[in-house]
Chain A
Amino acid sequence: MKNFRHPAAAIAGAAVVALLAVGCGGGDSEAASEDNPLELTVTTFGTFGYDDLYAEYEEANPGIDIKANNIDRGANAQTDLFTKLAAGSGVSDVVALEEGWLGAVMDVSDQFVDLKEYGADDIQDRWVDWKFKQGTDANGRVIGYGTDIGPQGLCYNGKLFEAAGMPSDREAVAELFGGDNATWDTYFELGKQYHEKTGEAWYDQSGFVWNSMVNQMKEGYYTADGDLNIEGNDAMKEQFMQLAAGTEAGLSANETKWDWGTGKAFTDGSFATFVCPGWMLGTIQEQLESAGGGADSGWDFADVFPGGASNWGGAFLAVPETSEHKEEAAKLAAWLTAPEQQVKQSAAANNFPSTIDAQKQLAEDATPNPMFNNAPTGAILASRAEGVVAQFKGPDDSVIQEKVFGVALTQLDSGKVDGEGAWNEAVQLLNELVVKD
């Protein structure tokens, strides 16, 4: 009866990780110096681009030793953070939060330091207004400094476009999709034409397109008052059916998201377009590299997005109450999110900054991005960020995105259900997973 061998290994492993995390820290609250060295732990996720900045900060602040940890994706970072919050220890001194699960974090915002105690008021003007407000809880405590935002542009594969007899030039593509008046109708119409000519898919899978659509709405899965806003939301269902019609017409490549055959799907012409919030450019670059592809893969970035401005994702840096070096941690978080550093972060990770000065800088520099056919991605994103408004994210937003619509759309992609069936599945899952709890 005592041979619990399979999970025992997993639990032991997790325990070791937890113990290591707990083991860090110690020391006192005095400012760090060469005589009083201290260690700050930082946890980020995805492609964050902080590695060089850590080194720079350590150089400028003798006595500070940064122990960084990067988790592969936001959803796993969420599980990691929530597990450690529940355990009451192990959260890093500085931890990155994703916009999608900020709603759940806000439920327990008292577990994070009010950054106002460490000078948040003085630097408030750095950020675009809505980003700073997102990081503030209902009681006016500031728990997160914004790092990046996720204005969306359209990634497309110029080579595949050309092969299908479509324009491949960035400006012409933007015009093809409708420029400032780009609509999802045009997007799916072009997709059908492309599919007829080539027999290939238009987008990798339906989930990301749906995330973009929802993030574009004035109110998403929740109303601004915090009520669920899905069942009986005719506008949302109509949009869902539009996506479903496209997928049923063969426009989805039914790829596994966050995997894409370890990136191969980006190099073998499986699909021709991709919805791209700023941070996604870094993801694509990583996928291309892991599949052995490079600038010659043909990916490009156009200053256009179906349905107008959309913001998907973006992160914040927070300091947990359990940190033993709150002051130093808050100082590091403020430094990392300052405009100057955000510009460097953007250069490393291709994401788009949330501070006004950094955004201006990127727009002015218009640095060509070799991975995307030398498109000035920063400047394009700055243009895409115009008109972006924050959407209220409820406590179960990420659960709904991943476990409700994510699941229903996977079934749609694999052809198990039609559009109506997928919507019904989503509503049923919503009632089972979110409403019931």
Chain B
Amino acid sequence: MTVTIKPPAPAAPPQKIKPTFRQRLNVWDVKASPYLYISPFFILFALVGLFPLVYTFYVSLYDWHLLKGQGDFIGLGNFTEVLADRFFWNSLFNTMSIFLLSAIPQLAGALVIAAVLDQNIRGKTFWRMSVLIPYVVTPVAVALIFTYMFNEQHGLFNSVLSNFGIDPIMWRTETFPSHVAVASMVNWRWTGYNALILLAAMQAVPRDIYESAAIDGAGAVRRFFSITLPSIRPTMIFVVITSTIGGLQIFTEPRLFDPTYAGGPERQFQTTVLYLWEMAFQRQDFGAASAIAWLLFLIIILFGVLNLALSRRIASSDGKRQRRRPAAEGKQK
């Protein structure tokens, strides 16, 4: 920004003068440059985030066929149609059910794994790498392997059950078992990942607190619940938010769990994103699919606001107690 166009301004008497071009350039530099520096993100976001969002809304106002293209303007017709559709509500129920079945065990498992990894164990790096391996495997491969194992007539799980004289579980035909099956794929993939994030937060908890607690006679369990958990609360919130957003958008696992239909013959495990995809590419109704996309967007915003309110409260309660914020918090973003 230091382009020399004119020679430096001569020293002038201390009176009101017009700022030189260079001075104006300086002022402009200070004021505008920061925006320029961060603009690439916003330009990209406008292109690949905002524009699709707005265009999807535009499409949702029309009768829009996948192959035949734009049809008549029907206002909010697609939205009323989707809201009156039993399959839309069914997909929301499935999404919430699978989300709860995956998020809760996943966080509990991740906490336990992180707490174990936080101890002084041999081969730390080996164990930490090991819990991340499921995350490295592509979801498609995970879904295929689990689909074989959950096969109703010939799968591994039902063979094992039958060895114990237990009736086979209808993993694909019955609603609840199918949700468990899909959630187990999600859990398998994400538990280790979340464990590592929680581990990072745990490592930042000052060790002297543990020592004093131990001297005061607190056992390992007490230390975990009274020191570790409160200290990593902000990180917990972060993990909860990301797994909420991820959980509301589950697609690959239920899609591949039943390659014939979109989420089971009777939509037993059809999530909202899967329903959106079916509407767009199998039933070829782009307008209704866009309406579903927007409704899902609004639902995610709703969850985001809830999460924000929750994390604000927790952050302020943190401030009151004057606890040092874990240093690892900044690293997770």
Interface residues of A (CB under 8 A from B): 1, 3-7, 9-10, 13, 72-73, 75-76, 79, 82-83, 85-86, 104, 107-108, 111, 255-259, 261-262, 264-265, 270, 399, 402-403, 406-407, 410-411, 414, 432-433, 436-437
Q: Are A79 and B68 in contact (CB under 8 A)?
A: no
Q: Please give me the residue from chain B that is nearest to A425 by CB atom.
A: B266
| Chain B, 304-322, CB within 8 A of any chain A CB | 304
Which residues of the partner chain A approach B246 to less than 8 Å between Cβ atoms? 3-6
Report the minimum CB–CB distance from B285 to chain A (whole Å). Answer: 6
Q: Are B283 and A407 in contact (CB under 8 A)?
A: no
Q: Are B252 and A6 in contact (CB under 8 A)?
A: yes
Q: Are B249 and A7 in contact (CB under 8 A)?
A: yes
Question: Which of A107, A261, A262, A407 makes the CB contact (< 8 A) with B261?
Answer: A407
Which residues of the partner chain B approach A414 to less than 8 Å between Cβ atoms? 170, 173
Question: Which of B85, B261, B265 makes the CB contact (< 8 A) with A432?
Answer: B85
Known: A5-B242, A6-B139, A104-B67. Is A256-B260 also a contact (CB below 8 A)? yes
Q: Are A1 and B260 in contact (CB under 8 A)?
A: no
Report the minimum CB–CB distance from B259 to chain A (whole Å). Answer: 7
Question: Which of B87, B152, B273, B283 makes the CB contact (< 8 A) with A7?
Answer: B273
Q: Are B66 and A86 in contact (CB under 8 A)?
A: yes
Which residues of the partner chain A approach B26 to less than 8 Å between Cβ atoms? none
Interface residues of B (CB under 8 A from A): 66-68, 81, 85-87, 138-140, 148, 151-155, 170, 172-173, 186, 241-242, 245-246, 249-252, 255, 259-261, 265-266, 273, 281-286, 304
- In the bound assembly, the distance between CA atoms of A73 and B139 in angstroms comes to 21
5 pairs, A vs B, C-beta closer than 8 Å: A73-B260, A82-B66, A261-B154, A410-B265, A432-B87
Q: Are B261 and A403 in contact (CB under 8 A)?
A: yes
Which residues of the partner chain B approach A433 to less than 8 Å between Cβ atoms? 283
Which residues of the partner chain A approach B273 to less than 8 Å between Cβ atoms? 7
Q: Are A3 and B245 in contact (CB under 8 A)?
A: yes
Q: Are B251 and A10 in contact (CB under 8 A)?
A: yes
Report the minimum CB–CB distance from A169 to chain B (whole Å). Answer: 30
Q: Are A82 and B153 in contact (CB under 8 A)?
A: no
Q: Are A437 and B283 in contact (CB under 8 A)?
A: yes
Known: A82-B67, A410-B265. Is A10-B259 also a contact (CB below 8 A)? no
Q: Are A85 and B260 in contact (CB under 8 A)?
A: no
- In the bound assembly, the distance between CA atoms of A379 and B278 in angstroms comes to 41
Q: Are A399 and B148 in contact (CB under 8 A)?
A: no
Q: Are B281 and A407 in contact (CB under 8 A)?
A: no
Report the minimum CB–CB distance from B1 to chain A (whole Å). Answer: 31
Question: Which of B242, B261, B285 makes the CB contact (< 8 A) with A437?
Answer: B285
Q: Are B153 and A261 in contact (CB under 8 A)?
A: yes
- In the bound assembly, the distance between CA atoms of A10 and B140 in angstroms comes to 9
Which residues of the partner chain A approach B68 to less than 8 Å between Cβ atoms? 107-108
Q: Are A262 and B148 in contact (CB under 8 A)?
A: yes
- In the bound assembly, the distance between CA atoms of A104 and B66 in angstroms comes to 11
Which residues of the partner chain B approach A108 to less than 8 Å between Cβ atoms? 67-68
Q: Are B154 and A399 in contact (CB under 8 A)?
A: no
Which residues of the partner chain B approach A265 to less than 8 Å between Cβ atoms? 153-154
Which residues of the partner chain A approach B186 to less than 8 Å between Cβ atoms? 6
- In the bound assembly, the distance between CA atoms of A365 and B260 in angstroms comes to 37
- In the bound assembly, the distance between CA atoms of A83 and B304 in angstroms comes to 31
Report the minimum CB–CB distance from A257 to chain B (whole Å). Answer: 7
Which residues of the partner chain B approach A86 to less than 8 Å between Cβ atoms? 66-67, 281, 286
Q: Are A406 and B261 in contact (CB under 8 A)?
A: yes
Which residues of the partner chain A approach B87 to less than 8 Å between Cβ atoms? 432
Given A256-B153, A257-B260, A407-B261, 5 more A-B residue pairs with CB atoms under 8 Å apart are A3-B242, A6-B251, A7-B249, A79-B282, A414-B173
- In the bound assembly, the distance between CA atoms of A10 and B245 in angstroms comes to 15
- In the bound assembly, the distance between CA atoms of A270 and B154 in angstroms comes to 11
Q: Please give me the residue from chain A that is nearest to B249 by CB atom.
A: A7
Report the minimum CB–CB distance from B160 to chain A (whole Å). Answer: 16
Question: Which of B172, B282, B285, B304 makes the CB contact (< 8 A) with A1?
Answer: B304
- In the bound assembly, the distance between CA atoms of A6 and B170 in angstroms comes to 26
- In the bound assembly, the distance between CA atoms of A402 and B251 in angstroms comes to 20
- In the bound assembly, the distance between CA atoms of A426 and B68 in angstroms comes to 27
Which residues of the partner chain B approach A399 to less than 8 Å between Cβ atoms? 282-283
Which residues of the partner chain B approach A85 to less than 8 Å between Cβ atoms? 66-67
Looking at B85, B155, B173, B186, which has the most chain A CB atoms within 10 Å of its CB? B173
Q: Are B245 and A4 in contact (CB under 8 A)?
A: yes
Which residues of the partner chain B approach A13 to less than 8 Å between Cβ atoms? 140
Give 5 nearest A-B pairs by CB, closest first. Answer: A261-B154, A410-B265, A3-B242, A108-B67, A7-B251
Which residues of the partner chain B approach A104 to less than 8 Å between Cβ atoms? 67, 284
Which residues of the partner chain B approach A406 to less than 8 Å between Cβ atoms? 260-261, 265
- In the bound assembly, the distance between CA atoms of A82 and B286 in angstroms comes to 12
Q: Are B154 and A264 in contact (CB under 8 A)?
A: yes
Question: Which of B173, B249, B259, B304 makes the CB contact (< 8 A) with A6?
Answer: B249
Which residues of the partner chain B approach A107 to less than 8 Å between Cβ atoms? 67-68
Which residues of the partner chain B approach A83 to less than 8 Å between Cβ atoms? 281
Q: Please give me the residue from chain A that is nearest to B256 by CB atom.
A: A10
- In the bound assembly, the distance between CA atoms of A265 and B140 in angstroms comes to 25
Q: Are A262 and B67 in contact (CB under 8 A)?
A: no
Report the minimum CB–CB distance from A201 to chain B (whole Å). Answer: 11
Which residues of the partner chain A approach B151 to less than 8 Å between Cβ atoms? 256, 259, 261-262
Q: Are B67 and A9 in contact (CB under 8 A)?
A: no
Looking at B148, B154, B249, which has the most chain A CB atoms within 10 Å of its CB? B154
- In the bound assembly, the distance between CA atoms of A262 and B261 in angstroms comes to 17
Q: Are A258 and B67 in contact (CB under 8 A)?
A: no
- In the bound assembly, the distance between CA atoms of A161 and B285 in angstroms comes to 47
Question: Which of B242, B252, B261, B265 makes the CB contact (< 8 A) with A10?
Answer: B252
- In the bound assembly, the distance between CA atoms of A407 and B282 in angstroms comes to 15
Q: Are A4 and B265 in contact (CB under 8 A)?
A: no
- In the bound assembly, the distance between CA atoms of A258 and B265 in angstroms comes to 13
Q: Please give me the residue from chain A that is nearest to B49 by CB atom.
A: A2
